[in-house]
Chains A and B, each alone.
Chain A
Amino acid sequence: MKPKRSGRKTLLYLKRTWTLYLMLILPVAFAVIFRYLPMTNISMAVKDYNMFKGVWASPWSDPLYKWFDKAFKTKDFWLALRNTLMLNGLDLIFGFPLPIMLALLLNELAFRRYKRVTQTIVYLPHFLSWIIISGMARQLLAPRTGVVNVLLGKAGVGPINFLMEHGLYVATYIALGLWKEMGWNTIIYLAAITGINPELYEAAEVDGASRLRKIWHITLPGIRSTIIVLLIMNMGRILGSEFDRPYAMQNDLVMKVADVLSTYVYRVGIRGFQFSLTSAIGLFQSVVCVIFLFSANALAKRFGERGIW
């Protein structure tokens, strides 16, 4: 009896909502065709891919883990992995808290127009491409002709080799990333802050709370869940790497710290024909990212946050 009734229930449910499901078809088809079908090409990682034969006609590699084995035995791969972790880790350490602070500061500005103008100015660099920024960096920071070094030279300092010495290159790389993205990343926090009930602030004011107290006890807790979600998402990116930023900025003298997985994959795979090797690396990269994402999410849930699913 029971299953029949639930079957009828389902039918009833479908009859009522079938139009909604119909509307879902297109987006689902989009995801399947453009997101999931291309994923089958991951099989390249366990095949001896020949660019002229295509993925399916290429023979399976022997043994299947051949390319993973090869990657893990290459020195350059470990170097690129280390650099990816180092650069992304530094990006997280510096690039994550600063936008929150900036958002809090912006939120405290009383003069609305000044606040808006400032906000716009700090997020504008986001719209410049890394190619342009790396070009600007060269114009500004080159040891002989760079404006910064010319000025430093006038002051009797330098020249400082911002782009061609290992440590300085990493610092420049992180600083430019901050400069470009910090303002943009505040937007989501500012939006979350506007969602906080103003009555809380009024009540705190009545109780005689200072500005810092209000930030600490109202604003920060109010955007805590946003912070956690963004942190989880950032954790998921720790091993994924953008391509244009490291590629545009690196040069022959700093490859030991500048070569990250994405540029390594590009150099060795796309330019060097070793597509199977690089899909293996790409797959490895994605799997590690997913692990990071899940563990960050689990951790967030353990601490009583909602996580992202």
Chain B
Amino acid sequence: MKKKLLSILLICMVLVSVLGGCGKKTDDDAKDTGKDATKAPTKAAEKKDDDATHEPEEVPLPEYSEITVEVFDRGTDGGKTDPTNNYYTDWIKAKVLEELNIGVTFVAVSRWEETDQLNNLMAAGTAPDICMTYSGDLANNYRDLGGLVELSQYIESHLPNLKEFLGPDLALPGRDMIYRNMDTTTGEVYSIPARRMQVAQVSTFIRKDWLDKLGLGLPTTTQEFYDALVAFKEQDPGGVGANNVVPFTMTSDVRWRASTILESFVDPDLSTEERWVNTVIDRQYLLPGYKEGVRFLNKMYNDGLIDNQFALYKDDTDSDNLIKSGVAGSFIHNWDQPYRDTPGLLHDLQENIPGAEIVSIDPFVNSAGQTAKGLYDSAGLNFFIPATSQNVDGALRYLDWLSKFENRYYLQVGDEGVTHDIIDGIPQLKPAENEKIQNSPQNIDYTIMINGLDLGDVTKNAKALAASYSVPAEYVVKAYEDAMRDGRPAIIVPVTLSAAGPYTQTLTDKGNELMSTAVTAAPEDFDRVWDEGIAEWRASGADEIIAERAAKYAEYIASMN
């Protein structure tokens, strides 16, 4: 008896669970009780839309749809807000819903692991409808695998505002910037670049108050720079304790955090072709002279001038903290890095050590007597629409909406009196302390087609640039001049490359390993470590990429004649 009861009970349970599963579905479909919060507004909006068609005097918006948009999560601390849910995202969501009848959801991707996370999203088919990356190779890889929407058919019809804003391509006369990533043979466009308002890239910074204390001027040669660091180490002008002084701070991203030093050792007489062909995934390791630059870093390291923990720093955080706490003497970074509100290097440093000063210098002279350094291309980050997108039309309309001056302008400068003051007709940005704080400078993480402040007027832009920082303008002007002096414009060759794709990540990692091991090698081992590392780097795919670049370059030159 007992057994029978048990079996009946079991059957009932199975039946209930099976029927229960079905029941839920029919329930949702029939009644739409709004259990699913994201579903509810869809239905409501659809109804509204139906109503609208009955009243012809209202301009009918397209049917309600939803899009997802990638946004960088910079993981910055200090009162910043959730990048996917804050005052500015609310503003975008409300306005886009009203003007386009599109619901926008932001998807955070870590700025520091953007390629990893984007790869995962793309592979899983869950990538946002609008994605972006700074890596052109990555976008090319997605393109080659057939993962992106072809956009050339939409540019004239859907993206007039974007096309107008991006304007003509300065590096390739006669072409519009929106067509920068176009395949020259097929005319297909899979990604669109953002426009950089200014192309200054990198500068060198030093603690001026330390130099003053030691009676030294701003270094004007590599040797003077070196001597200043030695003086920092030996005389500890900041009084932080001889063991704590870090004359030069960098991270495991040596290539970037020592770029002005390294660049000054590269042969200045290289032809455009030599330079372009041998620059693999933006790394210049193979350019003549680069090795001597690394040797110089090796000497600095072995003389105790570089933080001996740099290889443990996988992002900027630790290095930033050294600068903020006032133990670091100099560093190399974005031309305006110490003056940005985020991470607020100078601001926090001065809070810790009143009177501390970080100024830009330009001491690294190459064999041609110039202080050469890289400049950015006027095309910046690339954005694209994954082939898995269910709402290409909505994504395009959103992009074009965002390109309208009124929208991007508000996102960039915010509210008067809160994030900017109008002085002489120029909006002067200032850091907000409340909910309207901007997570990235001028909200570049939302205004993805623009990098830098655009007021719609060249002279206004120049004035606003200097005034856009919350530090004295002379710091910014000097840093800008230093970063632009003898700057080497980016070389643009409009060919379609695809060899780098599968090797990009391996070469990036191996390159970092190469740089770290070479810098920390004993001086007598340096040549061996470097040559072995380079041989391995070449064999890991660099040679293959160089061969492709050489062939494409030759093809391009031939097509020009």
Q: Hey, what's the 0/1 contact readout for B477-509 against A, CB within 8 Å counting as 1?
A: 000000000000000000000000111111001
> Contact at A164–B520, with CB atoms within 8 Å?
yes
Given A51-B145, A164-B520, A272-B502, A253:B509 Cβ within 8 A = no
Distance (Å) between the CB of A266 and the closest chain B CB? 9
Question: Within the assembled complex, what's the spacing in Å between the Cα atoms of A267 and B540?
Answer: 13
Chain B residue contacts of A153, Cβ below 8 A: 243
> Contact at B309–A252, with CB atoms within 8 Å?
no
Q: Does B560 contact A (CB under 8 A)?
A: no
Chain B residue contacts of A76, Cβ below 8 A: 506, 540
> Contact at B309–A19, with CB atoms within 8 Å?
no
Q: Does A223 contact B (CB under 8 A)?
A: no
The residue that B387 contacts in the complex, of A19, A52, A268, with Cβ under 8 A, is A52
Given A270-B119, A272-B505, A19:B312 Cβ within 8 A = no
Chain A residue contacts of B146, Cβ below 8 A: 50, 52-53
Question: Within the assembled complex, what's the spacing in Å between the Cα atoms of A76 and B516?
Answer: 18
Q: Does A37 contact B (CB under 8 A)?
A: no
Q: Does A22 contact B (CB under 8 A)?
A: yes
Q: Does A182 contact B (CB under 8 A)?
A: no
Given A19-B7, A53-B146, A272-B503, A251:B311 Cβ within 8 A = yes
Question: Within the assembled complex, what's the spacing in Å between the Cα atoms of A250 and B243?
Answer: 26
> Contact at A267–B506, with CB atoms within 8 Å?
yes
Residues of A12-67 whose CB lies within 8 A of B? 18-19, 22-23, 25, 50-53
Q: Does A245 contact B (CB under 8 A)?
A: no
> Contact at B252–A251, with CB atoms within 8 Å?
yes
> Contact at B312–A163, with CB atoms within 8 Å?
yes
**Interface residue range, chain A:** 20 to 34
> Contact at B312–A270, with CB atoms within 8 Å?
no
The residue that A144 contacts in the complex, of B3, B116, B243, with Cβ under 8 A, is B243
Given A271-B505, A273-B502, A164:B312 Cβ within 8 A = yes
> Contact at B309–A271, with CB atoms within 8 Å?
no
Question: Within the assembled complex, what's the spacing in Å between the Cα atoms of A51 and B501?
Answer: 13
Distance (Å) between the CB of A131 and the closest chain B CB? 12
Q: Does A143 contact B (CB under 8 A)?
A: yes
Chain A residue contacts of B311, Cβ below 8 A: 164, 251-253
> Contact at A255–B115, with CB atoms within 8 Å?
no
Considering only CB atoms, which chain B residue lies closest to A134 in the complex? B312
Question: Within the assembled complex, what's the spacing in Å between the Cα atoms of A76 and B506?
Answer: 10
Q: Hey, what's the 0/1 contact readout for A172-188 against B, CB within 8 Å counting as 1?
A: 00000000000000000
Q: Hey, what's the 0/1 contact readout for B224-252 against A, CB within 8 Å counting as 1?
A: 00000000000000000001000000001
Distance (Å) between the CB of B522 and the closest chain A CB? 12
Q: Which of B3, B115, B311 has the most CB of A within 10 A?
A: B311
Question: Within the assembled complex, what's the spacing in Å between the Cα atoms of A207 and B147?
Answer: 78
> Contact at B506–A51, with CB atoms within 8 Å?
no
> Contact at A272–B504, with CB atoms within 8 Å?
yes
Considering only CB atoms, which chain B residue lies closest to A137 in the complex? B312
> Contact at A268–B506, with CB atoms within 8 Å?
yes
Q: Does A126 contact B (CB under 8 A)?
A: no
> Contact at A252–B252, with CB atoms within 8 Å?
yes
Q: Does A274 contact B (CB under 8 A)?
A: yes
Distance (Å) between the CB of B266 and the closest chain A CB? 22
Q: Does B513 contact A (CB under 8 A)?
A: yes
> Contact at A138–B312, with CB atoms within 8 Å?
yes
> Contact at B308–A143, with CB atoms within 8 Å?
yes
Q: Does B223 contact A (CB under 8 A)?
A: no
Given A144-B308, A252-B516, A253-B311, A22:B505 Cβ within 8 A = no
Q: Does A142 contact B (CB under 8 A)?
A: yes
Residues of A193-208 whose CB lies within 8 A of B? none
Q: Does B122 contact A (CB under 8 A)?
A: yes
Chain A residue contacts of B6, Cβ below 8 A: 19
Question: Within the assembled complex, what's the spacing in Å between the Cα atoms of A301 and B501?
Answer: 50
Question: Within the assembled complex, what's the spacing in Å between the Cα atoms of A248 and B520?
Answer: 21
Q: Hey, what's the 0/1 contact readout for B399-437 against A, CB within 8 Å counting as 1?
A: 000000000000000000000000000000000000000
Q: Does B129 contact A (CB under 8 A)?
A: no
Question: Within the assembled complex, what's the spacing in Å between the Cα atoms of A271 and B120?
Answer: 8
Chain A residue contacts of B116, Cβ below 8 A: 270-271
Distance (Å) between the CB of A156 and the closest chain B CB? 13
Residues of A235-268 whose CB lies within 8 A of B? 251-253, 255, 267-268
Q: Does A129 contact B (CB under 8 A)?
A: no
Chain B residue contacts of A25, Cβ below 8 A: 14
> Contact at A142–B505, with CB atoms within 8 Å?
no
Question: Within the assembled complex, what's the spacing in Å between the Cα atoms of A250 and B540?
Answer: 20
Given A52-B147, A252-B513, A272-B504, A19:B243 Cβ within 8 A = no
Considering only CB atoms, which chain B residue lies closest to A141 in the complex? B312
Given A252-B252, A268-B506, A270-B119, A142:B501 Cβ within 8 A = no
The residue that A268 contacts in the complex, of B308, B505, B517, with Cβ under 8 A, is B505
> Contact at B517–A253, with CB atoms within 8 Å?
yes
> Contact at B312–A51, with CB atoms within 8 Å?
no
Considering only CB atoms, which chain A residue lies closest to B113 in the complex? A271
Q: Does B48 contact A (CB under 8 A)?
A: no
Considering only CB atoms, which chain A residue lies closest to B246 in the complex? A144
> Contact at A271–B119, with CB atoms within 8 Å?
yes
Considering only CB atoms, which chain A residue lies closest to B115 in the complex? A271
Question: Within the assembled complex, what's the spacing in Å between the Cα atoms of A124 and B148?
Answer: 48
> Contact at B388–A52, with CB atoms within 8 Å?
yes
Residues of A144-162 whose CB lies within 8 A of B? 144-145, 153, 159
Q: Hey, what's the 0/1 contact readout for B5-49 against A, CB within 8 Å counting as 1?
A: 011001100100000000000000000000000000000000000
Q: Does B463 contact A (CB under 8 A)?
A: no
Chain A residue contacts of B125, Cβ below 8 A: 52
Q: Does B528 contact A (CB under 8 A)?
A: no
Distance (Å) between the CB of B49 and the closest chain A CB? 32
Q: Does A292 contact B (CB under 8 A)?
A: no
Residues of B372-419 whose CB lies within 8 A of A? 387-388
Chain B residue contacts of A252, Cβ below 8 A: 252, 311, 512-513, 515-517
- A-B contacts, 24 of them at CB < 8 A, read A19-B6, A25-B14, A50-B145, A52-B146, A52-B147, A138-B312, A143-B308, A143-B309, A144-B243, A153-B243, A159-B308, A163-B312, A164-B312, A164-B520, A251-B311, A251-B516, A252-B311, A253-B311, A253-B513, A253-B516, A267-B505, A271-B115, A272-B503, A273-B502
Chain A to chain B: the 3 pairs with minimum beta-carbon distance, closest first: A252-B516, A272-B505, A52-B147
Contacts A23-B10, A51-B147, A252-B517 known; list 16 others, CB within 8 Å: A22-B11, A52-B125, A142-B312, A164-B312, A164-B520, A251-B312, A251-B314, A251-B516, A252-B311, A270-B119, A271-B115, A271-B505, A272-B502, A272-B503, A273-B501, A274-B502
Which B residues contact A (CB, under 8 angstroms)?
3, 6-7, 10-11, 14, 115-116, 119-120, 122-123, 125, 141, 145-147, 243, 252, 307-309, 311-312, 314, 387-388, 501-506, 509, 512-513, 515-517, 520, 536, 539-540
